[in-house]
Every structure is written in structure tokens, then in C-alpha cells.
């Protein structure tokens, strides 16, 4: 099971990013675990300065904006 984390303070873009990941996983029939990380110290621990950011299996794969739908689908399927 892939483990995703959405890093951000809970802003609209963070919520949109989390929903996009959930929707892509549902459409692909892929089981994922999704966690929202909102504590600034935890976010900075990943070296992220711009949110929303996405962590997949412990590695930052995106930061600084809402990812494109094709990009999210590739993460889920890949």
C-alpha cells in the first residue's frame, strides 16, 4: 500500500490536493494511506518551504502548488 502525506496548513489548495489523490486512487482501484500533516515543524522536517507538498513513501515528490491531475494519477498507478 502506498503511503501519501499532504503537507500544509489546511488551506484550500491542501484540501484540493488531498481530494485529488483520494479520487485518483479510487478511480484506479488502488489502496492508499493518506495523512494530512499540518504542524509546521513536521513540514519543515521534510525540507519543504512551499505548500501544499506531497510525500510518497517517505520522499517529497511535489511542493509549491496543486499538482496536475495526470501527475497525481501517475503517482497512484506508478
Of 4, 5, 8, 14, which is the active-site residue? 14
Average pLDDT over residues 54-72: 97
What pLDDT is attached to residue 77?
94
Per-residue pLDDT of 2-17, as tens digits, reads 999 999 998 999 999 9
Q: What number is the average pLDDT over the span 16-40? A: 97
Annotation marks residue 11 as catalytic: yes
What structural domains and CATH numbers belong to the chain?
Answer: 2-77 (3.40.30.10)
Q: Let me know the angle formed at the C-alpha of 64 by 58 and 55, rounded to the nearest 5 degrees.
A: 10
> What SS3 class is residue 5?
strand
What is the reported pLDDT for 51? 96
pTM of the model: 0.96
Residue 10 is predicted with a pLDDT of 87
Helix (H) or strand (E) holding 55: strand 53-56
Distances (CA, A) of 62 to 29, 54: 22, 5
Asked if residue 52 has a cis previous peptide bond (ω within 30° of 0), the answer is: yes
Query: Mean pLDDT over residues 23-48, rounded?
Result: 97
Q: Which one of 3, 10, 11, 26 is the catalytic residue?
A: 11
Amino acid at each position: 500500500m502506498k503511503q501519501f502525506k499532504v503537507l500544509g496548513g489546511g488551506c484550500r489548495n491542501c484540501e484540493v490536493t488531498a481530494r485529488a489523490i483520494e479520487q485518483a486512487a479510487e478511480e484506479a482501484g488502488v489502496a492508499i494511506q493518506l495523512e494530512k500533516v499540518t504542524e509546521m515543524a513536521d513540514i519543515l522536517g521534510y525540507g519543504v518551504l512551499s505548500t501544499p507538498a506531497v510525500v510518497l513513501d517517505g520522499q517529497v515528490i511535489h511542493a509549491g502548488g496543486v499538482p496536475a491531475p495526470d501527475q497525481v494519477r501517475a503517482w497512484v498507478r506508478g
